[in-house]
């Protein structure tokens, strides 16, 4: 038997083992009960950078509020952000709506069936296109995410840095070979499920793995050392201030610019601190510069911490009472005075939610 023929035979055995295992052990997740490409797209987008248990209630509420591509395309952006609030990475929500509008205008409201066209939509990259094409349309398209990387590097004994192009290319090639054949959507989900449930980063359950006899890392004994990754960039630290500015039982909130960190999100009025600036000085300056308002006094209540992907925020929280002056925004793109119910309807960042917990509610 030639080397190529032996490799193809091995791939067939791996596929068969993965599909048998998946069909016997897969989790009952809500998006797996649907064949609607739109619902699958929503789930795949939410699952980027977010744990399954966190996604489930958001997924169900989002589909209840925006059940079709057309409804999502026609929705007010703030309502989309509000439904997304708490999931983080808000660019995903913005790109979902942009893509929905493009699908409505250019594709008669139907998601394209092929990966290449899917990748032309905002927010849909190589992984999401492969996942949608295979799961929703049974196309033999590959996917490579963190779980797949872990399974494939251990299975094939790939011990080079997974951030390098040769290794990335190799992983996509191996994933593409596995995707060829029956039920490519189930096969792709099987690899991801195996990485999530069995081939875990620490203490993998190798004896429960359907690929254990073929796994190079199991043979060598270095599964927990794979995949090899470039060391993460150290988090940079920055500090900011925010304030509860109150008028008639309502707080001032401002909307962040459409580009940059937390783009388009609503937050309490404030801003970043300058280098070596004391929070008590910074709150007066930030309010004056960004809103045009002045306050006589600012009572510092404490601070909250929040971690973004590569940045760590320390947010100093103040209560200032009624401000003076007229609002002249510089930086924020919009403002509102909102009460308790109004806060619940806005897309607020997690740091702002933490600040509100510290402050209580308007009128308290």
Check whether the bond before 342 is cis (ω within 30° of 0): no
Pick from 116, 203, 191, 112: nearest CA to 155: 191
Q: Is residue 121 part of a domain?
A: yes
pLDDT of residue 261: 80
- Backbone torsion region of residue 311, taken as left when φ is above 0, otherwise alpha when ψ lies between -120 and 50, otherwise beta: beta
Question: Which residue range is the domain that position 291 belongs to?
Answer: 236-359
Both 199 and 333 in one domain: the answer is: no
Q: What is the pLDDT of residues 214-230, one digit of tens each?
A: 999 999 999 999 999 98
CA–CA separation, 308 and 310 (whole Å): 6
Residue 311, domain CATH? 3.90.79.10
What CA–CA distances, in Å, run from 68 to 35, 103, 303, 310, 346?
Answer: 13, 11, 41, 34, 22
Q: Is residue 242 part of a domain?
A: yes
Instruction: Please check whether residues 168 and 89 belong to one and the same domain.
Output: yes
Q: What is the mean pLDDT of residues 14-30?
A: 97
pLDDT of residue 310: 79
207 and 317 in a single domain? The answer is no
State the average pLDDT over residues 235-244: 94
Mention every residue, 6+ apart, whose C-beta is less than 8 A from residue 277.
285
Q: Give pLDDT, residue 211.
A: 98
Catalytic center residues = 44
In a domain, 231, yes or no: no
* 138 and 20, same domain (yes or no): yes
**What pLDDT does 288 receive?**
97
Both tokens assigned to 356: 């509100």
130 and 23 assigned to the same domain = yes
Is residue 254 within 8 Å of 266, Cβ to Cβ?
yes
Q: What is the pLDDT of residues 343-355, one digit of tens each?
A: 888 889 889 999 9
Domain at 89, CATH number: 1.10.340.30
Query: Considering only 90-94, 265-269, 343-347, which range has the smallest mean pLDDT?
Result: 343-347
Higher per-residue confidence, 168 vs 86:
168
SS3 state at 114: coil
Residue 354 lies in a domain: yes
Q: What stretches of 292-349 show up as alpha helix (H) in DSSP? A: 340-345
Q: Specify the pLDDT at position 338.
A: 95
Are 94 and 206 contained in the same domain?
Answer: yes
How far, in Å, are 149, 304, 307 from residue 295 at the CA level?
53, 22, 29
Specify the pLDDT at position 364.
63
Q: Are 170 and 131 in contact (CB under 8 A)?
A: no
pTM of the model: 0.83
Residues 176 and 149 in one domain: yes
- Asked if 147 and 278 sit in the same domain, the reply is no
| pLDDT tens column, 128-181 | 999 999 999 999 999 999 999 999 999 999 999 999 999 999 999 999 999 999
Q: Is the pLDDT of residue 188 over 90?
A: yes
Average pLDDT, the chain: 94
What is the number of domains present in the chain?
2
- Specify whether the CB–CB gap between 249 and 238 falls below 8 A: no
Q: Please report whether residue 64 resides in a domain.
A: yes
CA–CA distance, 360 with 122 (Å, rounded to integer): 38
Q: What percent of the chain has pLDDT over 90?
A: 82
Q: What would the pLDDT profile of 69-80 be if each residue is shown by its tens digit? A: 999 999 998 899
């Amino acid at each position: 038997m030639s080397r190529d023929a032996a490799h193809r035979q091995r791939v067939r055995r791996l596929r068969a083992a993965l599909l048998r295992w998946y069909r016997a052990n897969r989790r009952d997740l809500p998006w797996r009960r649907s064949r609607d490409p739109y619902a699958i797209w929503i789930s795949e987008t939410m699952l980027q950078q977010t744990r399954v248990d966190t996604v489930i209630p958001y997924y169900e509420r989002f589909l209840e509020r925006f059940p079709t591509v057309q409804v999502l395309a026609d929705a007010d952006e703030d309502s989309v952000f509000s439904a997304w609030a708490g999931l983080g990475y808000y660019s995903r929500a913005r790109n979902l709506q942009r893509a929905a509008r493009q699908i409505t205008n250019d594709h008669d409201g139907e998601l394209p069936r092929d990966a290449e066209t899917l990748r032309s939509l905002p927010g849909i990259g190589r992984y999401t296109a492969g996942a949608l094409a295979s799961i929703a349309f049974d196309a033999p398209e590959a996917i490579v995410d963190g779980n797949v990387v872990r399974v494939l590097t251990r299975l094939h004994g790939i011990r080079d840095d997974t951030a390098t192009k040769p290794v990335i290319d190799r992983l996509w090639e191996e994933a593409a070979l596995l995707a060829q054949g029956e039920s490519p959507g189930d096969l792709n989900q099987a690899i991801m499920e195996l990485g999530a449930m069995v081939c875990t980063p620490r203490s993998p359950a190798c004896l429960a793995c359907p690929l254990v006899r073929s796994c190079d890392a199991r043979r060598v004994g270095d599964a927990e050392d794979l995949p090899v990754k470039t060391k993460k960039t150290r988090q940079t630290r920055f500090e900011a201030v925010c304030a509860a500015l109150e008028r008639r039982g309502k707080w001032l909130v401002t909307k962040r610019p459409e580009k940059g960190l937390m783009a388009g999100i609503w937050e309490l009025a404030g801003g970043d601190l300058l280098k070596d600036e004391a929070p008590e000085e910074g709150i007066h300056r930030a309010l004056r510069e960004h809103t045009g308002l002045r306050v006589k006094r600012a009572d510092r209540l404490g601070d909250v911490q929040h971690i973004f992907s590569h940045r760590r925020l320390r947010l100093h929280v103040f209560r200032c009472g009624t401000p003076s002056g007229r609002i002249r925004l510089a930086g924020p793109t919009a403002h509102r005075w909102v009460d308790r119910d109004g806060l619940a309807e806005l897309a607020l960042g997690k740091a702002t939610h933490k600040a509100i917990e510290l402050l209580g509610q308007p009128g308290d």
